[in-house]
Chain A
């Protein structure tokens, strides 16, 4: 009997939702478990890093890493798993695009540290003690990983073979990906394992979108009574579905929330945020500067809106610190 392919899961800077999504495979997970040999999954099973180090290079068939890369430890693990795996898969929006953690790329490291360890309302730290990367006591040395200045996508650290998009990826897409891995029926390296057409294509509200949208104002979904059947853009609410790869079956829209873009751009686009910005602002109705600015003021935080998940993967990547 041929050996079952070895599979590994690992998480970096992530919320844990992606791990959860693996469990969401529900009964199918048994099929998967039957078909593969899970050799490393710290969240669920007790493996040690040394176990992985001991494996021969390239011996793991596929590793799925979720989460963005923020610390030196994550970098190290990414490298290690890269070395040990035949296929490395960026699992979920954070690994693929930076995800929500990458919104921190708008702030300098010092500011983050200061807030988290000193200023946050729930912190009581009068001595202003900050974590040290190295601490020695009684002759024993404890280390902590380095906290990087930049949040990175997985492929900004190591080479990635495939991407499974989503915050988190849907069980359907995961099941398909696993099947492809098992059968070897794989698309070209570097592919995103989801359709290359924007979400509107599969959105249940697509037909309700008129051909003549001209934005007179942008409304914010939590402040607006919304029609549950009408395309969000037709109601003046920013929906990233136009600029976001489909494949999620428009879960958010079905749940009456506009798409926020977690599946990332299509392969034809270099910068998801720039594209959605381009489309939305070009369709503003006003012609005079003041009117245009007034309408666009309805989007108070362009970075947070257009790069909710994609800041690390964007062309500018990170806020340049101002002099």
Chain B
């Protein structure tokens, strides 16, 4: 990638509150940073921690989960389950060396277009300050150490001597 780095944030929005809040932000012509890539789910309770890790593994610099405020979940309590998973997941992600600010859970109600805008802008700014995570590129860098072996083996075979005595 030759262009300047831009934070890439994957967002999982619940259909009833946060996705609709984003619609409202649109209808109200509020302006926010274009760094989000949104995936719509019916409920924040559907957000499998695997999705979050997969997003990071594939190069996301941040992951945002948006759900209904506690007590307002369209499916009664999906957001509580999301909150519980999030609490554990954030600890796990932190223990794995990913800064806490890269994973966020926000309750954004359908009427809170303004909040959506602010959350996105804030998060983009925050992640921008943290710099790229780009795990997919890290994986490639890590694997580079193996590729050198390939090369060494080639050389060794030319010289007809074992790599290790």
Contacts and interface: CB of A to CB of B under 8 A. Distances in A.
Interface of A: 49, 72-73, 75-76, 79, 106, 141-146, 148-150, 152, 156-157, 269-271, 273-275, 277-278, 280-282, 284, 286-287, 289, 292-293, 296, 299, 301-303, 306, 314-323
B50 A281 contact: no
Interface string B115-136: 0000000000000000101010
A292 B84 contact: yes
A215 to B, nearest CB: 9
Interface of B: 45, 48-50, 52-54, 56-57, 70, 80-81, 83-85, 87-89, 91-93, 95-99, 131, 133, 135, 138-139, 142-143, 145-146, 149, 152-153, 162-165
10 contacts: A73-B164, A76-B163, A269-B50, A271-B50, A274-B89, A280-B88, A289-B83, A302-B91, A315-B57, A320-B98
**B interface, by DSSP: helix, strand, loop or mixed?**
helix
B88 A299 contact: yes
A293 B49 CA distance: 17
Contact of B87 (A141, A157, A293, A323): A293
Contact of B138 (A278, A287, A320): A320
A277 B92 CA distance: 9
Given A106-B95, A270-B54, 18 more contacts: A73-B164, A76-B149, A106-B96, A148-B145, A152-B146, A156-B143, A273-B92, A274-B48, A275-B49, A275-B50, A277-B92, A278-B48, A282-B45, A302-B88, A316-B93, A316-B135, A317-B142, A322-B97
Contacts, number: 123
Given A143-B165, A148-B145, A281 B87 contact: yes
B53 A284 contact: no
Contacts of A149: 142, 145
A148 B138 CA distance: 15
Q: Across chains A and B, which 4 residue pairs bring their CB atoms closest together, nearest first?
A: A320-B97, A315-B53, A274-B49, A282-B81
Residue of B50, B53, B93, B98 with most partner-chain A CB within 10 A: B50
Contacts of A72: 149, 152, 163
A280 to B, nearest CB: 8
Nearest to A272: B50
B20 to A, nearest CB: 24
Residue of A106, A143, A284 with most partner-chain B CB within 10 A: A284
B48 A316 contact: no
Contacts of B139: 317
Contacts of B91: 296, 302
Nearest to A288: B70
A287 B85 contact: no
Contact of A315 (B56, B87, B133): B56
Contacts of B88: 277, 280-281, 296, 299, 302
Nearest to A80: B153
